[in-house]
């Protein structure tokens, strides 16, 4: 009987025969066949062109998509399970070198894909990834969630332990392949943390309340200057460089009060402003004595031409055209000058007095806000006006100088007309805090100026542009803070928890040669006042206790501020040097010193420590540095020190960073 002809196609019949043959082959034959097949495929892939490869991949993706769409949920689960099993088996068989190579290739592919994708593709990928993660989180049980969080915490703890272990004794093992400036324990990051309350820019490690005390301080920002003054400080005027380099001298020509202090100058180049002793401001009469030359405030009341001539003669090195332009600008915008001129021109008699109240506020403003006062709110005629102890009384002519109280609202604008050209009020003692239940609490002097000195986004803080004048302003306001605190201590001696001068009292009582009336008032500075005798004695006694307990310190470390730190340079304004912004220097040095102390005492880069003390000093050019004494649990041996001390210049190719540091020194 003839054989029935099959209905199978030639390709199907061939595939059937191959399946029969593969079902009967041994494992060795299977591995040999697959290896031969992979070799043939690799040779074919190497011979194909880019067009053929793209065509093959497109066809392969179409076939794969069609197969995926035809398969049932059970088939899909079975396929994924088989795929995961094969992957797990391959992962278990691979060596550590193969695993590292696979991960490196995978990271390279991922990085290349990330670089090629557009912003829309990236957003879509992240959205899909977040959706998958959210779906997985919703499906997991409480036990699975606890297990996942436990694994996550274990990984985090492991990473921290490894970093801690890597830093332990790391000071004795220098590695030129590491970028020490970018290590987690040393980098303070950028000044990109924004306060939610006042929009101030801060470094991440700075205290949250440094700028506005958590929203309690809310004073108006300084209005940006206009026309000539803005052009001069922003660099758009031809004489900007000259003006900014001589900003203190120009302000001296226009200040309405005299600045009293002992200025310290060491050498010809003195980029910082340094004073010794008490700082005070004096104000004279509205008009000079008959036949005398006008000074300070009195200059504003002579003719415009005479004002320019007199100011130019006071400092011939300054430009007359700038003096003329600034003089016109202040006459047009400064409320103090306008008020004084108005009262002087409309005086009822030749002998009258003007009073500037210490705490006057604009009548239509909120109680806690202090804007630039109107002309008639600056000074009023003293007829039946009540005079407070801190008010300023200006006579027509009496030849006497009056000291301006540090907590008078006019203390700042009278001395710094270029910093406050509109006459904005400074600090006074009755500015209430905001967003607090205790309405009786007021803003302290430190809180006021901490708020005023901050850099804020979308805010033109003009005082940061004035270089030398800004330095003088910072020193003046720091002296004001100290003076206010000393005055508080003096007035609250009975409330402070301080010991009495027992020995001095006994000496006065027992010594017949001492007149108690000549001793004066006893004012005790507590140890909490930095720099007081009790403070210095307490700190020195603490250090001596460490010596008594642990012996001599093992390490003496000097930590010096570097004006070339990128954290400082990147925040400077155009054409500024580091010594023009001591606010940035102080903040960066404070943060880096804290990082240094953490490296020594918590990261234990020299090994476990027992105790430490340090003191901060300032160099002649204004850069701070710290002297640190460190007691170690394991004493440092001479051999350990000799192993890391080198008296040669590092190799420029091998360690370019250390080479540049050594060459500069």
Q: Residue 385: what pLDDT? A: 45
Q: Tell whether the model's pLDDT for residue 272 goes beyond 70.
A: no
* Mean pLDDT, all residues of the chain: 82
For 600-615, b/e burial (b = at least 16 CB within 10 A) is bbebbbbbebbbbbbe
Strand 275-283 versus strand 353-356 pairing type: unpaired
Sign of CA dihedral 530, 531, 537, 539: positive
Structure tokens given for 619: 């160099």
Q: Residue 486: what pLDDT? A: 86
Beta bridge partners of 456: 200
Decide if 258 contacts 334 (C-beta within 8 A).
Answer: no
Dihedrals phi, psi of 205, to nearest 5 degrees: -85, 0
Q: Tell whether the model's pLDDT for residue 615 goes beyond 90.
A: yes
Q: Residue 258: what pLDDT? A: 80
Q: Residue 342: what pLDDT? A: 79
Say which residue, 30 or 548, is predicted with more confidence: 548
**pLDDT (tens digit per residue) in 59-100:** 989 998 888 899 898 888 899 899 999 888 888 888 888 888
Phi-psi region of 455 (alpha: psi -120 to 50; beta: other; left: phi over 0): beta
Residue 183 DSSP class: S
The pairs formed by 457-460 with CB atoms below 8 angstroms and a separation of 24 or more are: 457/194, 457/199, 457/201, 458/199, 459/199, 459/221, 460/224
Strand 624-632 versus strand 555-560 pairing type: antiparallel
**pLDDT (tens digit per residue) in 470-507:** 998 998 898 889 888 888 888 887 776 545 555 555 66
Dihedrals phi, psi of 20, to nearest 5 degrees: -65, -40
The Cα–Cα gap between 257 and 242 comes to: 24
Decide if 470 contacts 272 (C-beta within 8 A).
Answer: no
Q: Residue 518: what pLDDT? A: 59
What percent of the chain shows pLDDT beyond 90? 26
Q: Tell whether the model's pLDDT for residue 391 goes beyond 70.
A: no
What percent of the chain shows pLDDT beyond 70? 81
Q: Where do runs of H (alpha helix) occur along 492-532?
A: 502-510
3-state secondary structure of 610: strand
Q: Tell whether the model's pLDDT for residue 632 goes beyond 90.
A: yes
What strand order describes the sheet that includes 258-263?
258-263, 275-283, 402-404
pTM of the predicted model, to two decimals?
Answer: 0.70
Beta bridge partners of 617: 625
Mean pLDDT throughout 252-268? 74
Q: Where are the beta strands (DSSP E) in 299-439?
A: 353-356, 380-381, 392-395, 402-404
Query: How does residue 398 score in pLDDT terms, banded at 50, 70 and 90?
Result: low
The Cα–Cα gap between 239 and 662 comes to: 39
Mean pLDDT throughout 3-24? 72
**pLDDT (tens digit per residue) in 591-606:** 999 999 998 998 888 8
Distance from the Cα of residue 213 to its chain's centroid: 16
For 216-234, b/e burial (b = at least 16 CB within 10 A) is bbbbebbeebeebbbbbbb
Sign of CA dihedral 587, 592, 595, 597: negative
Q: Tell whether the model's pLDDT for residue 409 goes beyond 90.
A: no
Q: Residue 502: what pLDDT? A: 56
Q: Tell whether the model's pLDDT for residue 268 goes beyond 90.
A: no
Dihedrals phi, psi of 119, to nearest 5 degrees: -65, -35
Q: Residue 349: what pLDDT? A: 60
**pLDDT (tens digit per residue) in 539-580:** 999 999 999 999 999 999 999 998 889 999 999 999 999 989
Residue 556 DSSP class: E
The Cα–Cα gap between 346 and 344 comes to: 6
CA 641 vs CA 18, 603, 638: distances in Å:
74, 19, 5
HEC profile of 196-251: CCCCEEECCCCCCCCCCCCCCCCCCCCCCCCHHHHHHHHCCCCCHHHHHHCHHHHH
Beta bridge partners of 560: 625
The Cα–Cα gap between 423 and 337 comes to: 9
The Cα–Cα gap between 409 and 359 comes to: 6
Say which residue, 204 or 178, is predicted with more confidence: 204
Say which residue, 160 or 264, is predicted with more confidence: 160
Dihedrals phi, psi of 556, to nearest 5 degrees: -115, 115
Structure tokens given for 259: 């600045």
Q: Residue 287: what pLDDT? A: 73
Among 395, 323, 290, residue whose Cα is nearest residue 353: 395
Query: How does residue 180 score in pLDDT terms, banded at 50, 70 and 90?
Result: confident
3-state secondary structure of 611: strand
Dihedrals phi, psi of 541, to nearest 5 degrees: -65, -35
Q: Tell whether the model's pLDDT for residue 2 goes beyond 70.
A: no
HEC profile of 73-140: HHHHHHHHHHHHHHHHHHHHHCCHHHHHHHHHHHHHHHHHHHHHCCHHHHHHHHHHHHHHHHHHHHHC
Say which residue, 345 or 224, is predicted with more confidence: 224
Structure tokens given for 122: 């990236």
Residue 257 DSSP class: S
The Cα–Cα gap between 207 and 455 comes to: 15
What size, in residues, is the chain? 665
Among 394, 374, 371, 379, residue whose Cα is nearest residue 334: 374
Among 299, 252, 284, 267, residue whose Cα is nearest residue 472: 252
Q: Tell whether the model's pLDDT for residue 379 goes beyond 50.
A: no
Q: Tell whether the model's pLDDT for residue 266 goes beyond 70.
A: no
**pLDDT (tens digit per residue) in 111-157:** 888 888 888 899 899 999 999 999 888 888 999 899 999 998 988 88
Helical (H) or strand (E) element with 61: helix 50-70
Sign of CA dihedral 642, 645, 651, 657: positive
The Cα–Cα gap between 168 and 599 comes to: 9
The Cα–Cα gap between 74 and 55 comes to: 31
With a CB cutoff of 8 Å and minimum separation 6, the contacts of 391 are: 355, 356, 357, 358, 408
Structure tokens given for 207: 């205290």
Residue 364 DSSP class: T
Mean pLDDT throughout 271-282? 67
**pLDDT (tens digit per residue) in 500-542:** 555 555 665 666 565 655 555 677 788 888 888 888 999 999 9
Decide if 446 contacts 452 (C-beta within 8 A).
Answer: no
**pLDDT (tens digit per residue) in 329-343:** 999 999 888 888 877
Mean pLDDT throughout 17-26? 80
């Amino acid at each position: 009987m003839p054989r029935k002809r099959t209905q199978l196609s030639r390709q199907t019949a061939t595939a059937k025969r191959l399946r029969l043959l593969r079902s009967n082959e041994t494992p060795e034959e299977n591995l040999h066949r697959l290896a031969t097949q992979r070799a043939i495929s690799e040779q074919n892939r190497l011979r194909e062109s880019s067009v053929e490869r793209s065509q093959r991949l497109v066809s392969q993706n179409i076939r794969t998509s069609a197969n995926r769409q035809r398969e049932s949920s059970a088939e899909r689960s079975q396929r994924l399970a088989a795929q995961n099993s094969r992957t797990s088996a391959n992962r278990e068989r691979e060596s550590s070198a193969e695993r590292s190579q696979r991960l490196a290739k995978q990271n390279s592919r991922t990085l290349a894909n990330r670089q090629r994708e557009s912003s829309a593709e990236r957003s879509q990928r992240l959205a899909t990834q977040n959706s998958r993660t959210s779906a997985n989180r919703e499906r997991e049980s409480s036990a699975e969630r606890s297990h996942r969080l436990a694994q996550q915490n274990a990984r985090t703890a492991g990473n921290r332990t490894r970093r801690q272990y890597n830093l332990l004794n790391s000071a004795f093992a220098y590695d030129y392949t590491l970028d020490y400036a970018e290590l987690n324990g040393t980098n303070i990051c950028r000044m990109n943390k924004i306060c939610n309350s006042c929009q101030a820019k801060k470094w991440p490690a700075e205290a949250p309340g440094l700028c506005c005390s958590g929203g309690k301080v809310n004073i108006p920002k300084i209005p940006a200057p206009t026309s000539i003054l803005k052009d001069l400080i922003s660099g758009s005027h031809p004489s900007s460089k000259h003006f900014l380099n001589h900003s203190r001298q120009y302000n001296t020509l226009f200040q309405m009060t005299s600045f009293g202090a002992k200025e310290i100058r060491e050498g010809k180049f003195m980029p910082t402003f340094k004073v010794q002793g008490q700082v005070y401001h004096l104000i004279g009469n509205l008009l000079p004595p008959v036949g005398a030359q006008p000074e300070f405030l009195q200059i504003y009341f002579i003719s415009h031409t005479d004002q320019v001539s007199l100011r130019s003669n006071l400092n011939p090195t300054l430009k007359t055209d700038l003096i003329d332009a600034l003089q016109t600008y202040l006459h047009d915008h400064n409320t103090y000058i306008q008020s004084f001129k108005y009262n002087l021109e409309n005086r009822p008699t030749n002998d009258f007095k003007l009073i500037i109240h210490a705490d006057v506020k604009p009548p239509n403003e909120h109680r806690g806000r202090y804007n630039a006062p109107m002309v008639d709110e600056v000074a009023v005629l003293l007829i039946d006006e009540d005079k407070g102890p801190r008010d300023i009384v200006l006579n027509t002519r009496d030849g006497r100088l009056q000291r301006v109280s540090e907590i008078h609202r006019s203390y700042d604008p009278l001395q710094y007309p270029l910093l406050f050209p509109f006459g904005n009020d400074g600090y006074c003692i009755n500015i209430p805090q905001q967003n607090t239940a205790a309405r009786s609490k007021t803003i302290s002097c430190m809180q006021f100026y901490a708020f005023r000195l901050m850099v804020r986004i979308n805010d033109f803080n003009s005082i940061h542009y004035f270089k030398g004048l800004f330095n003088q302003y910072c020193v003046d306001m720091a002296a004001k803070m100290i003076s206010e605190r000393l005055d508080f201590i003096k007035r609250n001696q009975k409330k402070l928890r301080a010991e009495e001068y027992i020995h001095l009292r006994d000496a006065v009582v027992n010594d017949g040669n001492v007149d108690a009336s000549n001793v004066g008032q006893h004012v005790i500075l507590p140890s909490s006042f930095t720099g007081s005798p009790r403070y210095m004695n307490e700190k020195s006694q603490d250090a001596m206790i460490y010596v008594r307990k642990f012996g001599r310190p093992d390490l003496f470390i000097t930590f010096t501020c570097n004006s070339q730190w990128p954290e400082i340079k990147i925040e400077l304004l155009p054409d500024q040097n580091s010594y023009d912004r001591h606010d940035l220097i102080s903040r960066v040095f404070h943060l880096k010193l804290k990082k240094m102390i953490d490296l020594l005492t918590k990261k234990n880069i020299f090994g476990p420590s027992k105790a430490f003390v340090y003191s901060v000093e300032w160099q002649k050019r204004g850069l701070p540095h710290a002297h640190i004494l460190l007691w170690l649990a394991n004493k440092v041996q001479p051999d350990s020190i000799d192993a890391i001390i080198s008296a040669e210049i590092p190799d420029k190719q091998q360690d370019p960073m250390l080479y540049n540091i050594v060459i500069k020194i």
